[in-house]
Amino acid sequence: MKHVYSILFKKTSLMLLSGIISTLSFAQTSPCGPIVENFNNNANGMAGFSSSTVNSQAPGFTFNAGQGGNPDGDLRRCGIPSGGTVYELTTPTYRTLNSQTAVGYGFELSGAVVVSRVVVILQYIDNTGMINSVEVANFAPSYTGPSGGIATECRSIAIASYPGFDPGDAYRLIFQFTAASASNNNQCIVFDDFRTTGAGSQAPLPVSFTNFSVRKLGAGVQAAWNVAGEKDVLKYEIERSTNGRDFTKIGEVAATGGNTGYLFTDAQPVNGVAFYRVRNIDLDGKFKYTQVARLNLSKVIALRAFPQPAKNEVTIEHGNVSGKGMITVNSADGRRVLAMDVKPDMNQTTINITTLKPGLYIVRFDNGAGQAESLKIVKQ
C-alpha cells in the first residue's frame, strides 16, 4: 500500500510540475509579452502614459495609487457623464527587437463601467521620417466574472503588414475606449497590467496631434486639439488665415506635460471663411503642424471636404445638425464602409480613412431633420 501511495504521489507531483512548467512556458511565449507596467509604484504615477477625451472636453484617465497603503495602483476614469464618450490612452514609446516579427500588446479592463468598444492605433515613424497612425484593431472586449467582471486582452500586430515599419523600430499604441455612463463618481473604468513585447525606448516618438477641430462658440471660435506622446513640448501656437495659405499667429497655449487635451478661443474671428492650424514648439526649437481646419461663419454652409485627395484623414465641413446627425461613407459600388454621428454645434467633422483602400468614395451628410447632401472624395 505504501508502495502504491509512493507511485501515486510521484505521478501527481510530476503532473503538477508539468503544469507549472507549461504555465511558465506560456507566460514566456505569450504573444502579448510580459507585464511592463502595473502602476504599482506610487512615485511612478502615470508612468509615461497620457490620456484625453476624443469627443468631449472632459479629462481622461488619471493615476490611482490604491487605498490605505495598498500599492496596487492603476489608471482609471470615474464618474462618466454620458454613454458613448471615447477616452484615449497613449502608451510611452517602445522599441521592437531586431528578431521580432510582431508587436504584442495586452491589458486588463475592470471596474463598474463597461467598455463597449476598443480601437487600437499603432504609431511609428516610417522610412521617410513621417509618423504613421494606423488602426490595427477594433473590437468589443469580453468581460468575465461577477460585478462587471474583468476583460483580459492579449493581441499581436504583424510588423510586415505596415509599410516602413521594421524590426528594431520605435512605436507606441493609442487605445480608444468607448464607455457606458456611470451613475455616480465611484463607478470607473479601470486599466491595468499593460503588456507589450517591446523594450522601453530612450528616444520617444515626437508629439502627435490625434484630433483638431474648430467650432463657433458664442461670438468667438473655439479650437480644440488632443496630442499623444507629449514630451519636451514648450507650447502650442494657434494660427489663422483667410485664404488657407498665409497664416498669422493669434495666440499660444503653454504645454502642461500631463493634460493632453487643449482649448483656445479666438475672441475676434473674421467674418466669412477662416482657416486655423496649431503648431507645437519643442524645447529644442523643432515644431510640427496640425492639419488645417476650415470654418465658415456665414449662415449658409455648403458641404465640402478637405484635403482632396486625402490619405489618412478627411474633414467634412457641413451645416448644423438637428437631433441626431450622421455622416456615412460609401464605396463607389454603394457599400457602406464608414459611419459616424455628428456632434451638435459642430460645423465640421474629421473622419479617419486610414483603413480604406485607395479610390473614389461618396460621403453623405444627414442633418437629422430630413435633409441630406452628398459629395465625392478620393482616398490616396
In a domain, 4, yes or no: no
Within 8 A by CB and 6+ apart from 94, the residues are 36, 170, 171, 172, 196, 198, 199, 200, 201
Alpha helices, H only, the chain: 2-29
Residue among 238, 298, 237 at smallest CA distance from 270: 298
Q: Is the pLDDT of residue 362 over 70?
A: yes
For residues 374 and 177, the model is more confident at 177
289-308 pLDDT per residue, tens: 888 888 877 655 568 888 88
Residue-averaged pLDDT of the chain: 82
In a domain, 250, yes or no: yes
- 3 state DSSP class of 185: coil
Domain of residue 307, CATH code: 2.60.40.1930
In a domain, 256, yes or no: yes
Beta bridge partners of 365: 327, 373
In a domain, 243, yes or no: yes
- Final residue of a domain: which of 251, 269, 298? 298
pLDDT tier at 15, thresholds 50, 70, 90: very low
pLDDT tier at 179, thresholds 50, 70, 90: confident
Domain of residue 247, CATH code: 2.60.40.10
Instruction: Clarify whether residues 51 and 158 are in a common domain.
Output: yes
- Final residue of a domain: which of 200, 233, 249? 200
Q: What is the mean pLDDT of residues 201-208?
A: 79
Instruction: Clarify whether residues 151 and 182 are in a common domain.
Output: yes
For residues 84 and 177, the model is more confident at 177
Per-residue confidence (pLDDT) for residue 1, from 0 to 100: 38
Instruction: Clarify whether residues 272 and 258 are in a common domain.
Output: yes
Among 12-26, 67-81, 240-254, the range scoring the smallest mean pLDDT is: 12-26
For residues 376 and 82, the model is more confident at 376
- Final residue of a domain: which of 253, 269, 298? 298
Segments forming the whole domain that contains residue 80: 35-200
Per-residue confidence (pLDDT) for residue 298, from 0 to 100: 64
